[in-house]
Chains A and B, each alone.
Chain A
Amino acid sequence: MAKKPSPISEAPSNVSKDELLQYYRDMLLIRRFEEKAGQLYGMGLIGGFCHLYIGQEAVVVGLEACAKEGDKRITSYRDHGHMLACGMEARGVMAELTGREDGYSKGKGGSMHMFSREKHFYGGHGIVAAQVPLGAGLAFADKYLGNDNVTFTYFGDGAANQGQVYETYNMAELWDLPVIFVIENNQYAMGMSVSRSTKSKTFFDRGEAFGIPGEQVDGMDVLAVKAAGEKAVAHCRAGKGPYILEVMTYRYRGHSMSDPAKYRTREEVQKMRDERDPIENIRDLLLTGSHATDEELKALDKEIKEIVNDSAEFAKNSPEPALEELWTDIYADELPQGSAEEHA
């Protein structure tokens, strides 16, 4: 099942020009957004942990292309890309990164903890692999309610070594839950390469013992991701239970902003950027297939840049949350124990 990634030469005939442009646009938005976030972090406007998605854009953009209204998604702390891809506003995401009141969590969640009921985005989780059973739980709810929604549950090669993943595989298959386990294999769990963390080098087949089908996909090729995603989604929507996609990808930046990434060579990163970059690949396709002109793409680049700059300005100017916010949202519909009022 595993196949070696190869550079994309031409787009399949069933992919339209509009789709290609959309993927290009969505991936570019994530790339530029993350670059800006890195910049704001360097300026001290974003604090704490900040995990950038640069290099992995094709994974979430390819899979979002398979989603319909009502489908749910949940991921780890490397989550900005997922939020933008499912339609959350760049302004709200960036304002959360700067810890301001217009952020998706009113500034109380930060980079790792953002959510959107409206876009069915369930976070944003900071405990490695915790989102895996949570994602299966979202799928459990859809099955319980009898609809045909699916849940995209994203996690990394590092999370794939947590025990709760396998407890979840077992129950998801046992109960035929409509959940797609998307393993974003970027080859490094923080500083530990897959070859140092596991004897078996593949993750797509780790559901075999439970009867869950899986496949490995080239995660630097958005069209390949989309094609595999469609297969997985069809399986889940048909009520056949979970599906595993191991998406081979690469993060260009460190694990987080404070990671010097000494565990790999500069050459390794550069080679990936030069030869496999998912955005450059689509750009080439658009140009060589005469789907777009250089001018058109430049105009698109400019438009994206404006969205990102606007989000940064918005995030800088949004006020910090009011101090009362310290005491809200602890309990639904009521004041918390030990609230400001009680202790006043």
Chain B
Amino acid sequence: MAIEILMPALSPTMEEGTLAKWLKKEGDEVKSGDILAEIETDKATMEFEAVDEGIMGKILVAEGTQGVAVNTPIAVLVEEGEDADAAPAPKAEAKAEAKPAEAKTPETEAPKKDEGAQPGKSAIEEVKTPQPAPRSPDWPEGTKMKTMTVREALREAMTEEMERDETVFLMGEEVGEYEGAYKITQGMLAKFGHRRVVDTPISEMGFAGIGTGAALAGLRPIVEFMTFNFAMQGIDHIINSAAKTLYMSGGQMGCPIVFRGPNGAAARVGAQHSQDYAAWYSAIPGLKVVMPYSAADAKGLMKQAIRDNNPVIFLENEILYGRSFEVPDLPDFTIPFGKANTVRAGDDVTLVSFGIGVAHALEAAAKLAEEGIEAEVIDLRTLRPLDYDAILTSVKRTNRCVTVEEGFPVGAIGNHISAYLMENAFDYLDAPVICCTGKDVPMPYAANLEKHALITPAEIVEAVKKVTYK
């Protein structure tokens, strides 16, 4: 009986990959555990092992093919003497209409329909990430643009700054030999050597402290946390040692350091690997907090962060790493902190967001436009300093505001903005500010529950309708 071999998902966020190389050719005997092919994911090149035994009957996807979707049949395995062409392969099981039992959700939150609720698929992977159309771009008109992923933008920013300044170095888990758990630092060890690209053992508290000490002594470390969830082990040094020392020393001991890494929910990785720390770090005087959405912002703000004389928390997003945007092709492109970006103009409501929240806000704005509601979308880009003026100016015009973020609802950035608007624009508001956030629950693993724990464009649309009384 012929068996279809399907393109495997080899990382939590992999949606498609490149079939880099076949290691078995048609007619070869295949034993369980044999390496069939090399597959390039968004993170690494992985070996793909056989599970079943048989003869390689037919290769359906030639090596070198890019963009092969997960679960696409890539080859057919046959039994001895069986004809691959004659034996019609069975439908892939994963593609079968196997529907899990309808999950029970509380009456109040029961969605009318679960659009695209594919079992096993994380909703966050399907987030659309449109190119922002800033009202006033950070680069001169007519600048040549290039398309690059957020991942490439971050790498390019760090590389340029390390070339520019000898005191800048990179340290963290798997940043060197492994080339980055998320491939952000790919090629950097080869370029800069072990002195400047330092692989650390799994000791977050230790290397957060060592990095901070090196910064106090005048170097400019970039400390990568494999994710910000792991930075919890070293948070004492970020806050007590890095953020407060300048003040405690009466201005003598600056700490120019960047703590960076992915933050917020990835796909299906559970509660301990899915938390947005934006509000936590933004609460601390002495820290600067950056959370970019687009690749251009990731690049310009990362370069700025490395040059800043203060500790900077740079919150990246795993889902955004692989997304492509237009980036200005300039030799030395930086974006100042504290300058929000109006990424969509509109008069009816102001949506304030940052990081991946901007993608949700833009998608909601597009849906609202279909119904005749024009939303202005402000991407804060940096949370400390925060561009209060940009929010205030917009809200004074639209008279309505909805904030959008992935983090927990209590003590959210949106709460702060809402309070700020109440104090400073009370007479301009035609409706209470609504804070759209992630739900007040630890992130669940099950795909359907995870989807409902995250902030969605539909919730933003609903909130906008509330504040516009539509």
Are B217 and A117 in contact (CB-based, < 8 A)?
no
Interface residue A113 (Cβ < 8 Å from any Cβ of B): yes
Interface residue B237 (Cβ < 8 Å from any Cβ of A): yes
Are A170 and B248 in contact (CB-based, < 8 A)?
no
* Residues 133 to 160 of chain A near chain B (Cβ within 8 Å): 133-142, 144-145
Q: Known interface pairs A171-B203, A332-B254, A332-B309. Does A109 touch B210 (Cβ–Cβ under 8 Å)? A: no
Interface residue A130 (Cβ < 8 Å from any Cβ of B): yes
The listed residue (B205, B217, B246, B252) touching A133 by CB distance below 8 A is B205
Residues of A contacting B435 with CB < 8 Å? none
The segment from A3-11, A118-126, A223-231 that touches chain B is A118-126
Residues of A contacting B309 with CB < 8 Å? 331-333
Are B201 and A133 in contact (CB-based, < 8 A)?
no
Are B203 and A141 in contact (CB-based, < 8 A)?
no
The listed residue (B212, B217, B288, B384) touching A72 by CB distance below 8 A is B217
Q: Known interface pairs A167-B203, A171-B206. Does A138 touch B213 (Cβ–Cβ under 8 Å)? A: yes
The segment from A61-69, A98-106, A187-195, A244-252 that touches chain B is A98-106
The listed residue (B218, B240, B310, B385) touching A332 by CB distance below 8 A is B310
Are A122 and B253 in contact (CB-based, < 8 A)?
yes
Give CA–CA (A175, B203) in the complex, Å.
14
The listed residue (B213, B237, B252) touching A140 by CB distance below 8 A is B213
Give CA–CA (A103, B251) in the complex, Å.
12
What residue of chain A has the Cβ atom nearest to residue B210's Cβ? A137
Are A105 and B209 in contact (CB-based, < 8 A)?
no
Are B218 and A170 in contact (CB-based, < 8 A)?
no
Are A331 and B286 in contact (CB-based, < 8 A)?
yes
Are A130 and B241 in contact (CB-based, < 8 A)?
yes
Are B212 and A137 in contact (CB-based, < 8 A)?
yes
For chain A, give the interface size range.
35 or more
Interface residue B136 (Cβ < 8 Å from any Cβ of A): no
Give CA–CA (A225, B457) in the complex, Å.
67
B216 to chain A, nearest CB (A): 6
A153 to chain B, nearest CB (A): 9
Residues of B contacting A116 with CB < 8 Å? 252
Are A171 and B236 in contact (CB-based, < 8 A)?
no
Give CA–CA (A223, B269) in the complex, Å.
58
Q: Known interface pairs A108-B248, A116-B252. Does A134 touch B195 (Cβ–Cβ under 8 Å)? A: no
Give CA–CA (A137, B220) in the complex, Å.
12
What residue of chain A has the Cβ atom nearest to residue B385's Cβ? A337
Are A134 and B253 in contact (CB-based, < 8 A)?
no
Interface residue B56 (Cβ < 8 Å from any Cβ of A): no
Are A331 and B213 in contact (CB-based, < 8 A)?
no
Interface of chain B: mostly helix, strand, loop or mixed: mixed
The listed residue (B169, B213, B251, B254) touching A106 by CB distance below 8 A is B251
Give CA–CA (A107, B248) in the complex, Å.
9
Interface residue A168 (Cβ < 8 Å from any Cβ of B): yes
Are B206 and A113 in contact (CB-based, < 8 A)?
no
Interface residue B264 (Cβ < 8 Å from any Cβ of A): no
Are B237 and A133 in contact (CB-based, < 8 A)?
yes
Are A329 and B246 in contact (CB-based, < 8 A)?
yes
Q: Known interface pairs A134-B241, A137-B214, A138-B217. Does A329 touch B247 (Cβ–Cβ under 8 Å)? A: yes
Are A337 and B195 in contact (CB-based, < 8 A)?
no
B385 to chain A, nearest CB (A): 5
Are A123 and B248 in contact (CB-based, < 8 A)?
yes
Interface residue B386 (Cβ < 8 Å from any Cβ of A): yes
Interface residue A163 (Cβ < 8 Å from any Cβ of B): yes
Residues of B contacting A140 with CB < 8 Å? 210, 213-214, 217, 219
Are A115 and B386 in contact (CB-based, < 8 A)?
no
The listed residue (A72, A137, A142) touching B211 by CB distance below 8 A is A137
Are A330 and B246 in contact (CB-based, < 8 A)?
yes
Interface residue A132 (Cβ < 8 Å from any Cβ of B): yes
Give CA–CA (A329, B286) in the complex, Å.
9
B58 to chain A, nearest CB (A): 51
Are B203 and A144 in contact (CB-based, < 8 A)?
no
Are A115 and B203 in contact (CB-based, < 8 A)?
no
Give CA–CA (A144, B217) in the complex, Å.
11
Are B386 and A337 in contact (CB-based, < 8 A)?
yes
Give CA–CA (A170, B252) in the complex, Å.
30
Produce 1/0 per residue, B185-225, CB < 8 A to A. 00000000001001011010111111111111111000000
Residues of B contacting A104 with CB < 8 Å? 249-250, 252
B145 to chain A, nearest CB (A): 31
Interface residue A281 (Cβ < 8 Å from any Cβ of B): no
Are B217 and A109 in contact (CB-based, < 8 A)?
no
Are B237 and A130 in contact (CB-based, < 8 A)?
yes
Are B209 and A136 in contact (CB-based, < 8 A)?
yes
Q: Known interface pairs A105-B249, A337-B384. Does A163 touch B205 (Cβ–Cβ under 8 Å)? A: yes
What residue of chain A has the Cβ atom nearest to residue B255's Cβ? A332
Residues of A contacting B209 with CB < 8 Å? 130, 132-134, 136-137, 164, 168
Interface residue A43 (Cβ < 8 Å from any Cβ of B): no
Give CA–CA (A133, B201) in the complex, Å.
14
Residues of A contacting B130 with CB < 8 Å? none
Are A136 and B216 in contact (CB-based, < 8 A)?
no
Interface residue A260 (Cβ < 8 Å from any Cβ of B): no
Give CA–CA (A107, B250) in the complex, Å.
8
Are A170 and B206 in contact (CB-based, < 8 A)?
yes
Residues of A contacting B218 with CB < 8 Å? 141
The listed residue (A124, A139, A336) touching B248 by CB distance below 8 A is A124
Q: List 19 A-B contacts (CB under 8 A).
A: A105-B248, A106-B251, A116-B252, A123-B245, A126-B240, A127-B241, A130-B209, A133-B206, A138-B216, A141-B213, A141-B217, A144-B214, A144-B219, A170-B206, A171-B207, A330-B286, A331-B286, A332-B309, A337-B384
A74-B213, A133-B210, A140-B213 known; 13 new pairs, CB 8 Å cut-off, are: A72-B217, A109-B248, A122-B213, A124-B248, A127-B236, A134-B210, A137-B212, A137-B215, A163-B205, A168-B210, A329-B246, A330-B286, A331-B310
Q: Which residues of B contact A (CB under 8 A)?
A: 169, 195, 198, 200-201, 203, 205-219, 236-237, 240-241, 245-254, 256, 285-286, 288, 309-310, 384-386
List of 3 A-B pairs having minimum Cβ-Cβ separation, nearest first: A137-B213, A133-B209, A167-B206
